Structure 1
Amino acid sequence: MMLMASVSQLEREMITKAQRKYPHCQDPLEKLRLQCLARGASGIKGLGRAFRIMDDNRSNSLDLEEFSKGLQNYGVSLQPSEVLDLFHLFDKNGNGTINFDEFLNSVRPPMSNARRQVIIDAFKKMDRTGDGVITIEDLKGVYNPKFHQKYQNGEWNERQVFQNFLDNFDSPNNKDGQVTEEEFINYYSGVSASIDSDVYFVVMMKNEWKI
């Protein structure tokens, strides 16, 4: 697939742009977003996964201690006062917890409905079993490994090519061989951040995923 080659170029542009903007940024939310984008397209997805791991009781909410620890574990550099400001920004009802989904939606770079919908459509096409996660089994019949250079030269077998494809979307520090819809959206929100035109982004996705 050509997508990974084009995405890697967009990703480099996004990382450079985020690194350039960061020193001049004062807003804590934007600082957090830029630090994620500076890690590449998987940066926001990695942040999401780090917090999901901390949500032991699956409450979909975080208190201040969990929130602070999650940012720290992911290596985010913010002053304690900025962490507090961020927490209060999302603790809308003042009950001492924040809704994880609302937080993550705010960290993602803004996306139009058209962009979000084409990402979801691509995910649904990939998720052939309809179980809400993309696995190696889903990729069979959707993604042709025979065009991969390492398959052609005998270095990798079919399964290794599939695994490499999933790794593009997986968190570098916690690879589990499957990608959820949330992680897929988080990944492409990073790619989207480097593309100014809605039309270009939608056409790129439709061409690549044949939707």
Structure 2
Amino acid sequence: MGQEDELRAASEAAAGEAETPIEKLRYLLLARGYTGIMQFGRLFRIADDDDSFTLSMDELREALQNFGLDFNEEEANDVFNSLDQDHTGSINYNEFLAQLRPEMNDERMAVVEEAFHKLDESGDGVVTLEDVKGVYDASGHPKVLDGEMTEEDVLTKFLGRFEGTTKVDGKVSKDEFIEYYSGISKSIDNDEYFVDLLKKSWRL
């Protein structure tokens, strides 16, 4: 069983023992794998009908339902009320995902940010195909050599790894990058191993 499979299994078991609805939601999303939180983040934005970057109670229920999460009305209300601490009737997208994202210590966060900044050559806070072309050579990929895929196809698929499967747009924000690696971080206990993994992956 690979690390992601272990994360899925452990998170699914932990969801059944979660003490709060937010904790249950975090584990149910991690049970979807490394990209579970990112995928839910996209549904959050899709459910944000008025583009306010916030969700109402009804929009949150819609996002939970569309993602196929087993939350009854009371649990959904508890999630919403625990985040709507100022009682405005809405919850902020960034604050919501920050609550869901597994914490990384300073050492881990530093190497994740270093990797992102290396990818984000333009410095605009978003990694695109053009950025990736500068650090990832797809010309020698077996499917490119066989003519099955173009270099751009390979690079788009590479970016999709950090985007999950919902509304992939060929762009990766810093938050999406961090959310992806927070899932991986959750499955790796050893700090040194996690840091070495990223340094080798991105040649830092």
Does the 8 A contact of 1:46 with 1:171 survive in 2?
yes
1:79 aligned onto 2:79: no
Residues of 2 paired with 1:38 and 1:105: CA distance? 18
Corresponding residue to 1:180 among 173, 179, 183: 173
Do 2:15 and 2:25's aligned partners in 1 also have CA atoms closer than 8 Å? no
Counterpart residue number, 1:36: 29
Aligned residue identity for 1:111: M
Correspondence for 1:117: 110
Contact 1:49 1:171 in 2 (8 A): no
Give the CA deviation at 1:61: 2.0
Matched, 1:163 2:156: yes
- C-alpha displacement at 1:147, in angstroms? 4.6
Which structure has the higher relative contact order (CA within 8 Å, separation 6+)?
1
Whole-Å Cα distance in 2 between the matches of residues 110 and 160 of structure 1?
A: 33
Match of 2:93 among 86, 94, 100: 100
What is the TM-score with the length of structure 1 in the denominator? 0.88
Structure 1 counterpart of 2:87, which letter?
G
What residue is the counterpart of 2:84 in the other structure? 91
- In structure 2, the residue matched to 1:199 is 192
User: Over the residues paired in the alignment, what is the CA RMSD in angstroms?
Assistant: 1.9
**Cα shift at 1:156:** 2.2
Question: Over residues 69-113 of structure 1, what are the superposed CA-to-partner deviations in whole Å (9 max), with x where a residue is unaligned?
Answer: 121122221111111111111111122222221111111112212
Match for residue 8 of structure 2 among 8, 15, 19? 15
Distance in 2 of aligned mates of 1:206 and 1:73:
37
Give the gaps of 5 or more residues in structure 2. Answer: none
- The residue aligned with 1:63 is 56
The Cα shift of 1:181 comes to 1.2
- Compared CA separation, residues 196 and 27, structure 1 to 2 (3 A): same
TM-score (norm 2): 0.90
Aligned residue pairs total: 204
In 1, are the aligned partners of 2:55 and 2:93 still within 8 Å (CA)?
A: yes
Is 1:130 the counterpart of 2:123? The answer is: yes
The CA distance in 2 between the partners of 1:49 and 1:115, in whole Å, is 25
Whole-angstrom CA distance in 1 between matches of 2:98 and 2:135 = 29
Q: Does 1:209 align with 2:202?
A: yes
